[in-house]
Amino acid sequence: MKRLIFLLFLFIGLSASAQVKLLDMSHLQKRVSNADTVYIVNFWATWCGPCVAELPNYEKFQTTHKNQPVKILLVSMDFQSKLNTDVIPFIKKHQYKTEIFLAQRKSDEEWINAIDKDWSGALPGTLIVSQKKGIRKFYEQEFTYDELNKLYQANK
């Protein structure tokens, strides 16, 4: 019985960490609108080498800043049909605790332009939003942990 409960908890733990929510543009805009929080939104994909390589930096940043008003959102640009076959298994494997979404979009172009007119569409890309300071900046580049920290310090 004890063992069953343990297994049950293990299962709940795994499925909770493997949650990937679909996110459309209006939800994303709403999600980053809290004035007390700085949002760092990273656009990545399971197939994108440099994206996968930098994800641990975002995870580490969120862990080391958990008591600060900053929130990391990881938005996958994988094909929507790959949610169950690629994205969820990837998250399960890496056990990321940062919030993960899959971009629900009609077309890539619509999504890209809504995020930032200057984004070419190349991955990875990162958006930082601070409503309080009126900041909304997009970076088409990779980030190290230190660079993320600097980005936050400069915009908080």
Partner 1 sequence: MKKMMTLLLIAGLALTAFKPATEGYKVGDTAADFKLKNVDGKTISLANYTSAKGYIVVFTCNHCPYAQAYEKRIMELDKMYAGKGYPVIAISPNDPVALPEDSYPNMQKRAAERKYTFPYLLDETQDISHTYGVKATPHVFVLQKTASGNVVQYIGAIDDDTENANPNHTNYVQNAVNALLAGNKPAITSTKAIGCSIKWKKGA
- Chain residues binding partner 1 by CB under 8 A are 45, 47-50, 77, 79-81, 107-109, 112-113, 119-124, 140
Min dist. Cβ of residue 57 to partner 1 (A): 16
Please, which residue, 114 or 131, has the CB nearer to partner 1? 114
Min dist. Cβ of residue 42 to partner 1 (A): 14
Please, which residue, 59 or 78, has the CB nearer to partner 1? 78
* Measured distance CA(9)–CA(62) in Å, rounded: 24
Tell me the CB-side half-sphere exposure of residue 33, using CA atoms within 13 A: 7
Please, which residue, 76 or 130, has the CB nearer to partner 1? 76
Output the CA–CA distances (angstroms, integers) from residue 91 to 45, 53, 58, 154, 155, in the order listed.
11, 14, 14, 30, 29
Min dist. Cβ of residue 58 to partner 1 (A): 17
What is the sign, positive or negative, of the torsion defined by CA atoms of 104, 105, 106, 107? negative
Q: Which residues fall within 8 angstroms of residue 23, CB to CB, at 6 or more apart?
A: 31, 75, 101, 102, 103, 104
Min dist. Cβ of residue 3 to partner 1 (A): 41
Question: Is residue 115 within 8 Å of residue 125, measured between CB atoms?
Answer: yes
Please, which residue, 32 or 51, has the CB nearer to partner 1? 51
